Structure 1
């Protein structure tokens, strides 16, 4: 398998199933799969295409977001199978439905419980972010290297996704926010959030929900670019780990400073 083969598959899925429906969804092509969670025909068609094509490259289980909605046992493969594909066919579906361009197509390859390759495709910009463990992070042929963040918290720009936090944690985030240069709520799309962190537009991002299709590609990209992502207790993130909470940061020092402020 060549890593560029997967990029081409994601582009194909975007061109066939996703981009033609952007701002052109018809009645009946959007439904609610859970309270506050929408899914479209583009999600389902893209996942079916990507799943079929990835298995042609490497015949391994595919843990897709929409397939998992139908079969919640699918993620068990992440800790049981020697190789697993992880797919988010349309990250940021709510943005897509609303006609906002902050959406992405993502995939990762997991071997023995560890993410070894990751892809984020931004159809609206055409950018493809790719990482292979030990080989660096890249965007369209340009290597990505995350610069260290400022030492002063008052100079840090970050996001805290508070939707799934309990009330005391939300209050703590709100109380701490003035200590940073800015603290936003993210793009409602991990496939947009992680590239912003890679490029220095953000210095840290706090997540509560850490589903594998949302974070396996982005965490690998960040680490290969020199960044730092850990659970609140300092443990490394693994796609088969069902725990909640993840802090992604520009570097280890930034992670420690922000953790001390947001997660005392």
Structure 2
């Protein structure tokens, strides 16, 4: 567990942090319509992938490698073990000079996330989780207490950018039942720790790319929370284009209540 954390921190120190608030115009590219990437993303992924394979020689499914060759993501379905890598989660924040970004990795065995790591370079905060063993922040055990009060006291994020307009309107109307709902922090590697640390009670995600959600889902689950599909099935990292929709909450009862409120039919 410690070695992977070191790999992420070292890669960030080598090629990510030196470019924070120092990117030139030629170091930011569009990899798909509306999707940006930087030289820091690409260089960090190469470094992390090489070092992870030295640690455990199994396929690496990295966000940038999959952008170039989508078939690589099928290793999540066909291989007994796979590394997942998000070299800069929150790239838009990174480009804009905002500190909400992270470097993340997960180990997936037989389709289930068994270990995960999140490194937040600006704050120097490390999160890690191991299936059945717990979740940690900088080596301290994380245990998320259940939500208190009523839904009117709860805080959450709703990430509905890719939903149809009618579904977005329904969610906005239903979200009025909660105390405070925001659009999120544009980085799963910051949003999931917010749940584990007690800053938020729930997050609803629409799109669930595996490198974004495997690390935080395990962190929240091992801290006592829930990360599940909207039908209640536990989250498993699927290749892009698979099932979408994911609700994350600080405890099972909060998950159930939040789901019931958010999915109410439009009036």
Q: TM-score, normalized by length of structure 2?
A: 0.97
- Confirm or deny that 1:37 pairs with 2:40: no
Partner of residue 135, structure 1: 133
Deviations 1:54-102 (A, max 9, x none): 0000000000000000110111111110110000000000000001000
What does residue range 1-264 of structure 1 map to in structure 2 within 5 Å? Answer: 3-240=1-238, 242-264=242-264
Deviations 1:142-192 (A, max 9, x none): 100011012511011000011111112101111122211100011010000
CA distance in 2, matches of 1:235, 1:179: 25
How many pairs does the alignment contain? 262
Q: Stretches of 4+ moved more than 3 A in 1?
A: none
Q: TM-score, normalized by length of structure 1?
A: 0.98
Over the aligned positions, Cα root-mean-square deviation in angstroms equals: 0.8
Gaps (5+ residues) in structure 1? Answer: none
SS in 2 for 1:238: coil
Q: CA deviation at 1:49?
A: 0.1
Q: Is the 8 A contact 1:229 1:247 kept in 2?
A: yes
Gaps (5+ residues) in structure 2? Answer: none
CA distance in 2, matches of 1:181, 1:229: 21
Q: Is the 8 A contact 1:83 1:112 kept in 2?
A: yes
SS in 1 for 2:106: strand
